Amino acid sequence: MKISLDGLKSFISDYDIFKHLDEQHSPDSIRIRDIINKSLDKQRLNPDETAALLNVTDPELKQMILDGAKTLKERIYGNRIVLFAPLYVGNECVNDCVYCGFRISNKECLRSTLEKEQLITEVKSLEDKGHKRLIMVYGEHPKYDAHYIADTVETVYNTKSAKGEIRRVNINAAPLDIEGYRIVKQTGIGTYQIFQETYHQKTYEKMHPKGPKSSFLWRLDGLDRAMKGGIDDLGIGALMGLYDYRFEVMGLLYHTIHLEDRFGVGPHTISFPRIEPAVGTEFTQHPPFQVSDEQFKHLVATIRLSVPYTGMILTAREPIAIRNEVLSYGVSQIDAGSSIGVGSYSADNDEAYKKAQFVLGDTRTLDEVIYELAQHGYIPSFCTSCYRAGRTGEHFMEFAIPGFVKRFCTPNALLTFAEYLYDYSSKKTLKAGLALIEKEIALIPDDGMQQTVRDKLNLLKVGRRDLFF
């Protein structure tokens, strides 16, 4: 694939971002309250408003931001948490990103790419644990082109194990050209996710000295090309720790605004992982802009308030305690039961960590995560109905803005949760889960919907599967 930068121009203005951060340096309580109220009215924030939230240092105002994010999440998403698992297909890479365990110069990384039969074995292992949603991850290498990605996605969708199946595949891979996105789109993927890593161009160039990823503009334009290729379900992200997290949050907002202005719909998800240690990668031990736990909670809540309708993904990079706390500040999706070594779901071995991109902070099993979610009143969801019904991109927003997400996604979440409980859960998770489902059905305001959900649950009990609204 030939990279062309003709006509490309950055929509990230360092000058504007620094100006907003400088001008909003001392927001008072009235200003912060007004901004939070705007967000609670389900309006996306402007850069100056997000900058004001980011500049808050007073503990009481920070708590106000956390409380506002929690209220907003409850209003829009309810208490659902969507679950998925990452599936690393190959870790060969031609880039030399200084923070990444996959970088080409890392001699301690064991390179591996799943053959078709190995991929099938990995998928069956995930299905046998109860997973329904995957994000497939690829290094950047000529062998992982659009046709290869499409072939591996089709393999995943065609692989079944007992009652298990993967109903939705998302992609985390290198940016493609427009035709490449068209090829991948035909396989029925969900989200195509590209992290800019850092929106600060000078830092980006320093962090990416070699390989196709060294082009800041090609990567920044990657999701524009995806839109032109017919993929309207996009995921953006920044790797926190490469540069000032306040700048990165502003960059994520600018990216959102750019997509909204140009295509009429922003990203479906935003990710905000912190740098974690990686084998053979000294840089990760001391990130230049390390984000503390308090700063992390602040940035998560700020993103939630800035973009009310965008899903937020919290990964298993984070330790359990932080994951549990940050869930309430706006997170809508998490991975669970994750393993990030190539081939490591189906084959435990002592060298799996050498095939991994970084070290995980949360290594609980899927069942353990689901049990704890249920104990804390969250509904674990494997729902994929919107994607298979064509409710993506602009169509999704048409449903989401009037409250569709909370009204219909909660019943769908309960149905997919029940599937997991009947087919895969431990006894204690089954007991906790069924009690939560009964409680949640009683909270559905429409008596007719309550009965419809009960009817579908009865069908699940006698063996029916994949029921949704």
Residue 352 banded pLDDT, cuts 50, 70, 90: low
What is the average per-residue pLDDT within 15-23?
Answer: 98
What is the average per-residue pLDDT within 190-205?
Answer: 98
Pairing of strands 269-271, 311-314: parallel
| Whether residues 67 and 114 fall in one domain | no
Q: Is residue 102 part of a domain?
A: yes
pLDDT at residue 257, as a whole number: 98
Given a cut of 70, whether residue 213 has pLDDT beyond it is yes
Q: Is residue 466 part of a domain?
A: no
| Whether residues 375 and 456 fall in one domain | no
Non-local (6+) Cβ contacts of 53 within 8 A are 27, 32, 35, 45, 65, 301, 302, 305, 306
pLDDT at residue 63, as a whole number: 98
Given a cut of 90, whether residue 2 has pLDDT beyond it is no
* Each residue's pLDDT tens digit, 308-333: 999 999 999 999 999 999 999 999 99
Of 337, 365, 385, which residue constitutes the final position of a domain?
Answer: 385
| Whether residues 421 and 457 fall in one domain | yes
Q: Is residue 55 part of a domain?
A: yes
**What residues make up the domain containing 398?**
394-461
Given a cut of 60, whether residue 391 has pLDDT beyond it is no
Q: Do 56 and 27 form a contact (C-beta atoms < 8 A)?
A: yes
* Each residue's pLDDT tens digit, 357-385: 667 889 999 999 999 999 999 999 999 87
Q: Is residue 467 part of a domain?
A: no
Least confident of 101-110, 398-407, 460-469: 398-407
Spatial distance between the Cα atoms of 465 and 167, rounded to a whole number of angstroms: 12
Among 68-77, 218-227, 345-354, the range of highest mean pLDDT: 218-227
pLDDT at residue 450, as a whole number: 92
Spatial distance between the Cα atoms of 337 and 326, rounded to a whole number of angstroms: 18
Spatial distance between the Cα atoms of 235 and 172, rounded to a whole number of angstroms: 9
pLDDT at residue 445, as a whole number: 85
Given a cut of 90, whether residue 348 has pLDDT beyond it is no
| Whether residues 57 and 110 fall in one domain | no
Non-local (6+) Cβ contacts of 46 within 8 A are none
Spatial distance between the Cα atoms of 226 and 234, rounded to a whole number of angstroms: 8
Element housing 84 (H / E): strand 80-90
CB atoms within 10 A of CB 69: 30
Count helices and strands (H / E) in the chain: 19, 11
What is the average per-residue pLDDT within 390-400?
Answer: 53
Give the number of domains in the chain. Answer: 3
Q: Residue 371: give its domain's CATH number.
A: 3.20.20.70
| Whether residues 170 and 22 fall in one domain | no
* Each residue's pLDDT tens digit, 261-291: 999 999 999 999 999 988 899 999 999 999 9
Q: DSSP state, 161?
A: E
Of 73, 100, 116, which residue constitutes the final position of a domain?
Answer: 73
pLDDT above 70 as % of the chain: 93
| Whether residues 400 and 251 fall in one domain | no
Q: Is residue 187 part of a domain?
A: yes
Q: Is residue 118 part of a domain?
A: yes
pLDDT at residue 154, as a whole number: 98
* Each residue's pLDDT tens digit, 21-33: 999 999 999 999 9
Spatial distance between the Cα atoms of 343 and 188, rounded to a whole number of angstroms: 24
| Whether residues 246 and 139 fall in one domain | yes
Q: Do 381 and 50 form a contact (C-beta atoms < 8 A)?
A: no
| Whether residues 220 and 328 fall in one domain | yes
| Whether residues 399 and 375 fall in one domain | no
Residue 38 banded pLDDT, cuts 50, 70, 90: very high
| Whether residues 303 and 373 fall in one domain | yes
pLDDT at residue 183, as a whole number: 98
Q: Is residue 5 part of a domain?
A: no
Residue 395 banded pLDDT, cuts 50, 70, 90: very low
Residue 404 banded pLDDT, cuts 50, 70, 90: low
| Whether residues 216 and 321 fall in one domain | yes
Residue 108 carries which side chain, given as an amino acid letter? E
Spatial distance between the Cα atoms of 326 and 314, rounded to a whole number of angstroms: 8
| Whether residues 68 and 216 fall in one domain | no
pLDDT at residue 401, as a whole number: 53
Least confident of 132-141, 161-170, 438-447: 438-447
Of 38, 55, 73, which residue constitutes the final position of a domain?
Answer: 73
